[in-house]
Amino acid sequence: MSAIITTILSLVRSGDHLVITDDAYKRTLEFCSSYLLRFGVDCTIVPFGDYDALESAVRPQTRFIFSESPTNPYLNIFDLDRLRRIARRHDVLTVIDSTFSTPLNQRPLEFGVDLVMHSCTKYLAGHNDILAGAVLGRTELISQVRAMHKAFGGVIDPHCCYLLLRGLKTLALRVQRQNASATTIAEFLEHHPRVKRVYYPGLPSHRHHDIAKAQMSGFGGVVTFDIKGALPEAKRFLDALRLCYIAPSLGGVETLITHPAIVSYYDQTRKQRYALGITDTLIRLAVGIEDVEDIIADLDQALKRSAPRRRK
């Protein structure tokens, strides 16, 4: 968030405007829609994937368009070619949070995006033991961010820098394994009788599969799925797991699983959550580097044990 906030504030002044898609990191949306107003900066939130609405939202005061790809938790993919064309027609900048893809699976800069954000906390560090962020882009823009960064002081300590550099040495190996394992797991879950629906851009059933194939070299290590039943079944499923850790992060060597309704959206009512697509039975799996057959076996036994109980 330090990287995101510093970048945004380095690009805008009072009276400016920005456009952001509604399927973006929760805290990024919160900052843009609420806190930026204190600085006299206006923000328009548009539906993800509605490119006509996106272009219509651009004003003469618009400085940049911000989106995320893939998104959390549904792994929606933004069409970077269309984003570039819209931005160039209106002479505005583009910013993409590409954390879920890593630079190995998707490189937005090669599609003409101006700035790319990454949470180094996730795949880049790869061991769930640091907090850090990164912003990449051409020199004149990064210089603006760097200047403001010195004033804001959101600097990671030397030991975190060392751990991040350590993680980057194995990034390619980890991501390659996670891509392959996540694809296998997604295919397994899609045919499981206890699973209602699977969201993974590598599956033909994903609504942005064609876009993902065109602009990604790998589909990532996160698989989201909706299990059959209700909240009690979701809780029983999570409690029955033996190998997968229940934790909110992703991108590390351990397989982590989380329940967005309880972990990330605990402060919202059920009606508010469902309006965002966060159901009681939605599960997000962040695949690690364990043997894929072990992960599948753990998911399978937990899904079977979470089946609705018959009334006597």
**HSE-up (13 A, CA, CB side) for residue 150:** 5
Going from N- to C-terminal start, the domains of the chain cover 2-167, 171-305
Residue 157 dihedral angles phi and psi, to the nearest 5°:
-80, 165
pTM here is: 0.94
- pLDDT tens for each residue of 253-294: 999 999 999 888 777 888 888 888 899 999 999 999 999 999
User: Long-range contacts made by residues 271-280, C-beta under 8 angstroms, separation at least 24?
Assistant: 277/74, 278/73, 279/226, 280/230, 280/231, 280/234
| pLDDT value at 312 more than 60 | no
Q: Which amino acid is at 301?
A: Q
- pLDDT tens for each residue of 39-98: 999 999 999 999 999 999 999 999 999 999 999 999 999 999 999 999 999 999 999 999
Look at residue 311 in the predicted model and tell me its pLDDT: 60
Report, as an integer, the average pLDDT of 164-192. 98
Q: How many CB atoms lie within 10 A of CB 251?
A: 29
Report, as an integer, the average pLDDT of 26-34. 93
Architecture field, domain 2-167: 3-Layer(aba) Sandwich (3.40)
Look at residue 310 in the predicted model and tell me its pLDDT: 67
Q: What percent of the chain has pLDDT over 90?
A: 90
Look at residue 102 in the predicted model and tell me its pLDDT: 97
Q: Does domain 171-305 have CATH number 3.90.1150.10?
A: yes
Q: How far apart are CA 187 and CA 41, in angstroms?
A: 44
Q: How far apart are CA 307 and CA 191, in angstroms?
A: 16
Q: How far apart are CA 45 and CA 47, in angstroms?
A: 7
